[in-house]
């Protein structure tokens, strides 16, 4: 017990959420990765994923031991992330989009690190609360956000939108004047409306020709149209979900199998390891892992997963509220908002509330870069709860005193023997 008290410092609730999500991740990724075992060694996918989580645990332990004032250094790395994002646009690899950068045989997603750097940068600017420089702070946040989101948007539109929403909410929390926020909201709505109209009205054949060759727009358009159009019921004999190779099968394949998985789950599910749809969903271990969780643990399990992320956001709010300094307050809320909104997005896709986005379920979906960056967010939240919380500091001092006292008692008893 003394060992755990010494190692796992900070908010205990956040630690419990982190450990529970890791445990759920190991079980569900192991179950959902059955399709990968046909191509490689049976244990390789889950051992690889477990290794990522173990390294992630080390990242959390390392980050949560650093005082929050040093996290502002992360924001300075934002220009470097811009360079990497530009390089990724030309040299990146993953299917039809350039999201991954390979350096020295190791692949990673620069967009994940760019999100982290932008959130820290925005938190740092918001913490400089001086009325005479209010316009300057707002301008710098907008410029950094526009550049980052623009570089991400072409190959990963959902990530860019999610990141913008997080920064927007951080500015609301940071008490940016309503007049500025209303103007920003109006501009964004106008740009979003124009772009959506452009996407739906302009023939994709035009954009796919040189010199445009913007193939990702075709994917976005098909997802929006597939989502907005009336879907063919999976119970309809004309759908032929397992045999039909026509347009319905192509457009609704993932969404339909996701709904089948959720329908099969019922209240308590089939229990872990008994999923059927994991063999049909192409991204059962990442984008659609929430559907597999519901199939195996039912609506009860799906609700518990949602509850974990809700508690994470609420607890982060408590930690931010207790913080005496502005920078830790904003960086905690930025990290928690990103994790919460990304989780909601993944769940909404799985249950068919929004079009397919490609967002993973934080800390649960299979991955490398995303898991490690998520662990950085947890480490930041735990660090603030540990160092920038008067009650937390007092509690740590009490723990230290208790450990010293117990050690002295043990030495005294040993001497008497």
Tell me the three-class secondary structure of 65-106, residue by residue: CCCHHHHHHHHHCHHHHHHHHHHHHHHCECCCCCCEEEECCE
CA distance 248 to 364: 30
35 occurs within a structural domain: yes
80 occurs within a structural domain: yes
416 occurs within a structural domain: no
pLDDT at position 248: 43
Using alpha carbons, list the distances in angstroms from residue 143 to 181, 327, 401: 15, 20, 48
205 occurs within a structural domain: yes
Q: Which residues of 110-120 are buried (b: 16+ CB within 10 A; e: fewer)?
A: bbbbbbbbbbb
414 occurs within a structural domain: no
Q: Which domain holds residue 197?
A: 2-409
Closest CA to 288 of 255, 251, 265: 255
* Count of domains observed in the chain: 1
Could you give the angle at the alpha carbon of 313 between the alpha carbons of 308 and 317, nearest 5°? 140
220 occurs within a structural domain: yes
415 occurs within a structural domain: no
Q: What is the mean pLDDT of each run of 10 residues along the chain (417 residues)?
A: 68 93 90 68 79 94 92 93 88 60 74 93 86 78 94 85 94 87 92 80 63 56 60 46 42 75 86 81 79 90 94 94 90 96 92 82 86 94 85 56 66 59
Closest CA to 25 of 273, 281, 262, 285: 285
pLDDT at position 246: 38
CA distance 357 to 6: 41
């Amino acid at each position: 017990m003394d060992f755990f008290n010494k190692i796992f410092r900070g908010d205990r609730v956040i630690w419990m959420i982190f450990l529970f999500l890791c445990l759920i991740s190991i079980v569900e990724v192991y179950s959902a990765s059955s399709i990968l075992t046909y191509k490689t060694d049976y244990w390789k996918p889950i051992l690889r994923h477990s290794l990522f989580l173990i390294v992630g645990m080390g990242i959390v332990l390392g980050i949560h031991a650093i005082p929050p004032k040093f996290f502002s250094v992360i924001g300075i790395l934002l220009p470097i992330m811009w360079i990497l994002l530009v390089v990724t646009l030309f040299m990146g690899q993953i299917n039809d989009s350039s999201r991954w950068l390979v350096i020295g045989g190791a692949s990673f997603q620069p967009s994940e690190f760019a999100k982290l750097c932008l959130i820290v940068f925005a938190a740092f600017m918001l913490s400089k609360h001086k009325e005479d420089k209010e316009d300057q702070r707002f301008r710098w946040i907008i410029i950094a956000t526009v550049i980052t989101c623009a570089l991400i948007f072409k190959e990963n539109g959902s990530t860019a939108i999610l990141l913008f929403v997080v920064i927007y909410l951080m500015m609301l929390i940071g008490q940016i004047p309503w007049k500025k926020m209303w103007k920003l909201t109006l501009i964004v709505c106008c740009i979003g409306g124009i772009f959506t109209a452009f996407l739906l009205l302009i023939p994709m054949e035009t954009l796919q020709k040189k010199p445009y060759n913007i193939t990702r727009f075709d994917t976005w358009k098909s997802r929006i149209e597939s989502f907005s159009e009336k879907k063919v019921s999976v119970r309809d004999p004309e759908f032929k979900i397992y045999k039909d190779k026509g347009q319905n099968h192509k457009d609704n394949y993932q969404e339909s199998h996701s709904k089948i998985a959720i329908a099969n789950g019922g209240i308590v599910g089939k229990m872990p390891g008994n999923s059927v749809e994991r063999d049909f969903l192409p991204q059962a271990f990442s984008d659609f892992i929430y559907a597999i969780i519901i199939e195996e643990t039912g609506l009860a399990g799906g609700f518990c997963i949602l509850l974990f992320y809700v508690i994470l956001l609420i607890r982060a709010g408590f930690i931010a509220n207790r913080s005496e300094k502005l920078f830790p307050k904003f960086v905690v809320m930025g990290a928690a908002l990103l994790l919460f909104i990304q989780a909601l997005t993944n769940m909404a896709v799985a249950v068919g509330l929004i079009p397919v986005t490609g967002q993973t379920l934080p800390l649960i979906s299979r991955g490398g870069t995303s898991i490690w960056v998520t662990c950085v967010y947890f480490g930041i939240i735990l660090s603030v709860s540990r160092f920038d919380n008067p009650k937390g500091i007092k509690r740590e001092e009490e723990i230290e005193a208790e450990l010293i006292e117990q050690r002295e008692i043990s030495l005294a008893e040993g001497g008497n023997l």
